[in-house]
Chain A
Amino acid sequence: RDNNYNIKLQRSSFMCMLQRQQFSLPSIFIYGHTSSGKTYVMQTLLTTLQLPHVFVNCVEYFTSRLLLEEILIQLQSYSSDTEQASPVHCDTFNDFVRLFKQAVASRELQDQTLYIVLDRAEQLREMEANILPAFLRLQELTDRNVTVVLLSEIVWELFRPNVGCFEPFTMYFPDYSIGHLQKILSQNHPPEYSADFYSAYINILLGVFYMVCRDLKELRHLAALNFSKYCEPVVRGEANERDTRKLWKNIEPHLKKAMQTVYLREISSSQWERLQHDGGEPGQLKGLSAHSHVELPYYSKFLLIAAYLASYNPVRTDKRFFLKHHGKIRKTNFMKKHEKTSNHLLGPKPFPLDRLLAILYSIVDNRVAPTANIFSQITSLVTLQLLSMVGQNDQLDGPRYKCTVSLDFIRAILFSLMWDFRGT
């Protein structure tokens, strides 16, 4: 579909590399930012040139066993014999090399270069330590005409194991410039409208979105979502296709709204489309972030407040804040120098359970019995990710917690308790 510009840019180097007959490079490493056409280019090249290849996504085959077996299964499907492929079992790379030799030997492809493309190759780093180096010198290990192509979004330097390995041929796919994006996006215009009309629309779209998003896929998605709105004046007969200014006036605020809502997945694309269809205002639909209020049981609210206070106040100040007769504290010495920076900038600090309960007892009016319910509430706050446990200590050993909610969240809780934080 796309006439890919990266092919054009790098056609010559590609053509040299993809040899049909001779032994070619043992491994090629291709990297570039999201949607710069790495996967697409590889796939189209291999299929159009009809080169024998295996294409595997490393995220999908998340263990080394799955990955190796998948490669072997795809190889089997290449073989011309119709006999049903027996289930493959391949646990180690050693097995893989053996089975790979068998699979290649059984076919007439021996003289052609076989390409193994590993997409999202950064996942390889999380598998066993031998997988990545072994893939890089697969040609050497199997003594067959095979090239491994690694596709990744990160640079080679982050791959290199500290013991060193075979260095692949690296290649960079640069990002598309705005001009490229414009040309690629304008290519598939809807059949009912002229290419110029659509290209003008893409121009406006890029004007709004280019600052925040350069992902081709996402841009194309957004273009498809909002195109009907762009056409509206034309359909209604209020403007003709050349009336760019009128069309721009119609679509620009709409796109800006789209940037704040549908682009961030605050509301879903289907909701957005329905909204467009009904002609409603986007303000009617509340996004995900609008529902930030969490309703909590009474004591959970206080527990959370106590946890917040414990996390952001130094221990020394507890006596002053929560005791009625705390005695005099000299102002000059009270705050140490490093404590003068806002505690909110430093983030939450861990505190022991006892301190949490002590603060809780001093901020709740009536007496709270230390019942099992209170303790289970603390645990459920942890499962709700409102508190987090620091260190996987034994429960008996005095667990330590951190409060992970923001000041706004606490403010909302305080507001719901009608208890002004600053007043007391």
Chain B
Amino acid sequence: SHLDLSGKCLQVFCKLRRKNRNSHEHYLNKQLLDNLLSFLSRSHSEFQEKTTEWTCKMKFREIPTAALVLGVNVTDHDLTFRGLSDVLQDSITPYIALLEAKDCPGIKNLMQKLMGQLMNCDIDVDTLEDEDCVQVSQNRIRCSMSSLISWYESVTKKTDSETPSKKRSSSSRHWKSPPVVVIFKDMESFTTKVLQDFIVISSQHILELPLVLIFGIATSPMIIHRLLPHSVSSLLCIELFQSISCKEHLSTIIDKLLLTSRFPFKLGEKVLQVLINIFLYHDFSVQNFIKGFQLCIVEHFYSQPLSVLCCQLVDVKKRVISLSHEQCENIRRLPSFRRYVEKQEAGKQIALLTNDTFLKEDTESLLKDLHVYHENYVSILRCLHVFTSSLPKYPLGKQIRELHCACLENRVWETEEYESSLQLARMLNKTDLVTMLQQCVEILTSSSGKQFDKTVEKLKEFLTQFQNLEAEASQERDVSVLSQKELQKKTDLYHLQKTLLELKESRRSKKLTKFEVLRFEVVDYMDSLVRKYLVPADDRTLHEIVYFNAANVLRGHLNAAPRTALHTALNNPHWYLKNQALKCDGGSISNKAPDICIVYKLHLECGRLINLVDWLEAFSTVVTAAEEPNAVAASSDQMDDIIQYPFSFLSTVSELELLGFIKPSKQKTDHVARLTWGGC
């Protein structure tokens, strides 16, 4: 069963990964890639077409450069660049080099790296005919631009002279002389000198070697001006490309992964909050978010024995039937199930707790219910989001993920924010309301749940009522105009005052207009939908099977606190060693603890500078303190102790230095300086 379990886990895992990758390629940087491709194909073809024109002859031949602003989430860039180079390889050029700053401390290394990558890619293109390439690589290639140019000439000539063969098809996608694309992955980290030299060199050979540069920029395009002086940047023809912001990226990922009923596995509110917090507070990395999500999957399938049942709906029956007695007992132990049992009548309670087959039948239907609940939940959540995202000040959050978290956390209709957003929704104007209703109808009709037929009908009814209102509105207007005219007739001040008061009175007591009544109805109907479908998952029976809720475990894995851990280890060794003898209360120092713990604890009491002699004395006091009861032995070994302690003391002190807590000080002899402050 364990094997089966891990197999299932893997299956879900793979499916998710595939999905991630697809979503990456298809949705995210499509626009960016398209723009970039058109830029690249444009850049050199212009010159090839009209070299005879006067302007082209006169114009300085600049190196086409794409400044690609990708945002500060550096960990995600790899994926983007990989996607980019794949796309380029497919449609523009086989000659692509990816350079990283850490590989290129000098221009020499840069050229080596560049040539290595370009000449390898040549081998990749025609693997059959690698005889020449091997020869080339056997010779020690001079890493200079001229050898690169001769390589380029030979390569392009070869593809030209080639007789039409099966290889032709692969190379014909590119043009006669495809550009050589050099990608600088992390522009910020390159040194100015290397970049300047490379640009100056390549601009001299731009006619022989059609080069295109791509600068991967994490911060802002201003960095180009900071790195390159005008004399160098004037050799470039820089165009700016901006990828979508990582927050949007996250929204799409959440939309595709979490707000769908396609995957049986779900994240609990706290876990989702941990992942989102790491994203927003720390790294902006979608990649890390997905990794965290994958970790959740692994952790859930590993730690929850009942996760066997976390599967697609079609498999549920089979799995439930094959449950062992032990697993049934596990189900009975689930808190949500116990709550469920308590609500049942006495006879059923007994059956559920004693009869395995009865339990299995019930479990199956419960799991189906859970599935249906989730399907409905997503659709109604989206409808509610349509409303809340257009309210002023967004009391329930602008993003759907905030709304999702709020709904998962507790009954959303009991919160203040929900109350205030209902208030605001009751003040929406007609056009907004109508478009929102239309959107909701769209969402509900496209959802897979079949329960919404009635709801859609009801919403459509509202829409027709709104349309009818328009016709009636014109009549109403006539009435109001009449009263206005009456007002104008009377010029007497007293009468005027009187009529105005009357008008005001009548307006206050006036019944709500038909539109207002309808608006109340719509909002109340939405409210009823929310109360019916957006029940928090914790209230559902058997939610433990599908929802992963161990936020603490996840936090421990993803948001490690090395300093705190080290402090705990040294301050409270019992925490990790689990030795009863080490258990100590409060600030007292036990002499049973390892030497380093004693030395560490003593150093916490010191100031910025620590006197080594005092420290040693304190140390030996602590160590000998407990031995005093059997003083006879102590007195005889006293000579030994004095000799022994400095050794253990000094070795622990150097251990602390290695851990980064202290360092030798030059200010005072026999003193060390503390490097940490506070508790940790």
A contact set with B: CB distance below 8 Å: 34, 57, 59-63, 66, 69-70, 87, 188, 190-192, 215, 217-218, 220-221, 223-225, 227-228, 264-265, 268-271, 286, 288-289, 291-300, 354, 358, 369-377, 380, 383-386, 395-398
Assembly CA distance A56 to B498 (angstroms): 101
Asked whether, in the complex, the Cβ of B225 is within 8 Å of the Cβ of A297, the reply is no
Q: A269-B62, A297-B284 are in contact. List 19 more A-B contacts (CB 8 A).
A: A59-B200, A60-B145, A66-B142, A191-B54, A224-B58, A268-B238, A288-B238, A294-B220, A295-B72, A295-B245, A297-B72, A297-B280, A298-B281, A298-B282, A354-B676, A380-B283, A383-B189, A384-B74, A384-B218
Most buried by B among A60, A264, A271, A386: A60
Asked whether, in the complex, the Cβ of A377 is within 8 Å of the Cβ of B233, the reply is no
Asked whether, in the complex, the Cβ of B60 is within 8 Å of the Cβ of A383, the reply is no
From A60, A188, A192, A291, B220 is in contact (CB under 8 Å) with A291
Most buried by B among A288, A292, A372: A288
Assembly CA distance A384 to B559 (angstroms): 22
For B66-77 the 0/1 string (1 means CB < 8 A from A) is 010101101000
Q: In the complex, which residues of chain A have a beta carbon less than 8 angstroms from the beta carbon of B186?
A: 383
Q: In the complex, which residues of chain B have a beta carbon less than 8 angstroms from the beta carbon of A354?
A: 675-677
Assembly CA distance A261 to B143 (angstroms): 37
Asked whether, in the complex, the Cβ of A220 is within 8 Å of the Cβ of B54, the reply is no
Q: In the complex, which residues of chain A have a beta carbon less than 8 angstroms from the beta carbon of B145?
A: 60
From A265, A295, A372, B561 is in contact (CB under 8 Å) with A372
Q: In the complex, which residues of chain B have a beta carbon less than 8 angstroms from the beta carbon of A373?
A: 278, 281-283, 559-560
- Ordered by A's residue number, 25 sampled pairs between the chains whose C-beta atoms are within 8 Å are A63-B108, A66-B144, A218-B60, A221-B58, A223-B58, A265-B230, A265-B233, A268-B239, A270-B237, A288-B238, A291-B242, A295-B72, A295-B245, A295-B284, A296-B284, A297-B281, A297-B283, A371-B560, A371-B561, A374-B282, A376-B282, A380-B72, A384-B188, A396-B658, A396-B660
Q: Which residue of A lies closest to B200 (CB)?
A: A59
Assembly CA distance A291 to B245 (angstroms): 13
Shortest Cβ distance from residue B207 to the other chain A in the assembled complex, whole angstroms: 14
For B248-290 the 0/1 string (1 means CB < 8 A from A) is 0000000000000000000000000000001111111000000
Asked whether, in the complex, the Cβ of B59 is within 8 Å of the Cβ of A269, the reply is yes
The answer to whether B223 has its CB under 8 Å from any CB of chain A is yes
Q: In the complex, which residues of chain B have a beta carbon less than 8 angstroms from the beta carbon of A376?
A: 282-283
For B160-196 the 0/1 string (1 means CB < 8 A from A) is 0000000000000000000000000010110000000
Asked whether, in the complex, the Cβ of A190 is within 8 Å of the Cβ of B54, the reply is yes
Q: In the complex, which residues of chain A have a beta carbon less than 8 angstroms from the beta carbon of B218?
A: 384
Known: A66-B144, A371-B559. A87 touches B139 (CB 8 A): yes
Most buried by B among A188, A224, A300, A395: A224
From A62, A188, A218, A227, B197 is in contact (CB under 8 Å) with A62
Q: Which residue of B lies closest to A274 (CB)?
A: B42
The answer to whether B564 has its CB under 8 Å from any CB of chain A is yes
Known: A66-B142, A374-B282, A398-B675. A225 touches B59 (CB 8 A): yes
Q: Which residue of A lies closest to B228 (CB)?
A: A265
Asked whether, in the complex, the Cβ of A224 is within 8 Å of the Cβ of B55, the reply is yes
Known: A288-B238, A300-B72, A383-B74. A369 touches B201 (CB 8 A): no
8 Å CB interface, B478-505 against A: none
The answer to whether B236 has its CB under 8 Å from any CB of chain A is yes
The answer to whether B107 has its CB under 8 Å from any CB of chain A is yes
Known: A66-B144, A188-B58, A380-B74. A288 touches B282 (CB 8 A): no
| Chain B: interface residue total (CB-CB under 8 A) | 72
Q: In the complex, which residues of chain B have a beta carbon less than 8 angstroms from the beta carbon of A264?
A: 230
Asked whether, in the complex, the Cβ of B282 is within 8 Å of the Cβ of A59, the reply is no
Asked whether, in the complex, the Cβ of A291 is within 8 Å of the Cβ of B236, the reply is no
8 Å CB interface, B204-224 against A: 204, 218-224
Q: In the complex, which residues of chain A have a beta carbon less than 8 angstroms from the beta carbon of B219?
A: 294, 384-386
Asked whether, in the complex, the Cβ of B234 is within 8 Å of the Cβ of A218, the reply is yes
Q: Which residue of B lies closest to A220 (CB)?
A: B58
Known: A265-B233, A398-B663. A288 touches B221 (CB 8 A): yes
The answer to whether B553 has its CB under 8 Å from any CB of chain A is no
Q: In the complex, which residues of chain A have a beta carbon less than 8 angstroms from the beta carbon of B675?
A: 354, 396, 398
Q: Which residue of B lies closest to A386 (CB)?
A: B219
Q: In the complex, which residues of chain A have a beta carbon less than 8 angstroms from the beta carbon of B680?
A: 370
Assembly CA distance A375 to B563 (angstroms): 10
Shortest Cβ distance from residue B653 to the other chain A in the assembled complex, whole angstroms: 14
Assembly CA distance A270 to B284 (angstroms): 34
The answer to whether B562 has its CB under 8 Å from any CB of chain A is yes
Q: In the complex, which residues of chain A have a beta carbon less than 8 angstroms from the beta carbon of B560?
A: 371-373
Asked whether, in the complex, the Cβ of A265 is within 8 Å of the Cβ of B234, the reply is yes
7 smallest beta-carbon distances between A and B, as pairs: A224-B58, A221-B60, A288-B221, A396-B660, A373-B282, A190-B54, A268-B237
Q: Which residue of B lies closest to A224 (CB)?
A: B58
The answer to whether B231 has its CB under 8 Å from any CB of chain A is yes
Assembly CA distance A284 to B242 (angstroms): 16
The answer to whether B146 has its CB under 8 Å from any CB of chain A is yes
Q: Which residue of B lies closest to A225 (CB)?
A: B59
Q: In the complex, which residues of chain B have a beta carbon less than 8 angstroms from the beta carbon of A295?
A: 71-72, 245-247, 284
Shortest Cβ distance from residue A284 to the other chain B in the assembled complex, whole angstroms: 13
Q: In the complex, which residues of chain B have a beta carbon less than 8 angstroms from the beta carbon of A372?
A: 559-562
Q: Which residue of B lies closest to A354 (CB)?
A: B677
Q: In the complex, which residues of chain A have a beta carbon less than 8 angstroms from the beta carbon of B236?
A: 265, 268
Shortest Cβ distance from residue B520 to the other chain A in the assembled complex, whole angstroms: 35
Assembly CA distance A215 to B231 (angstroms): 10
Q: In the complex, which residues of chain A have a beta carbon less than 8 angstroms from the beta carbon of B220?
A: 291-294
The answer to whether B517 has its CB under 8 Å from any CB of chain A is no
Q: Which residue of B lies closest to A153 (CB)?
A: B231
Asked whether, in the complex, the Cβ of B60 is within 8 Å of the Cβ of A385, the reply is no
Known: A62-B197, A292-B220, A383-B188. A265 touches B238 (CB 8 A): yes
Q: In the complex, which residues of chain A have a beta carbon less than 8 angstroms from the beta carbon of B233?
A: 265
Q: In the complex, which residues of chain B have a beta carbon less than 8 angstroms from the beta carbon of A291?
A: 69, 220-222, 240, 242
Q: Which residue of B lies closest to A373 (CB)?
A: B282
For B500-534 the 0/1 string (1 means CB < 8 A from A) is 00000000000000000000000000000000000
Q: In the complex, which residues of chain A have a beta carbon less than 8 angstroms from the beta carbon of B283?
A: 297, 373, 376-377, 380
Q: Which residue of A lies closest to B73 (CB)?
A: A297
Shortest Cβ distance from residue B517 to the other chain A in the assembled complex, whole angstroms: 39
Assembly CA distance A376 to B55 (angstroms): 51
Q: In the complex, which residues of chain B have a beta carbon less than 8 angstroms from the beta carbon of A369?
A: 559, 561, 564
Shortest Cβ distance from residue A138 to the other chain B in the assembled complex, whole angstroms: 22
Q: In the complex, which residues of chain B have a beta carbon less than 8 angstroms from the beta carbon of A190?
A: 54-55
8 Å CB interface, B312-328 against A: none
For B561-574 the 0/1 string (1 means CB < 8 A from A) is 11110000000000
Known: A190-B54, A291-B242, A354-B677. A296 touches B237 (CB 8 A): no
Assembly CA distance A376 to B558 (angstroms): 13
Q: In the complex, which residues of chain B have a beta carbon less than 8 angstroms from the beta carbon of A270?
A: 42-43, 46, 64, 237, 239
Assembly CA distance A217 to B71 (angstroms): 35
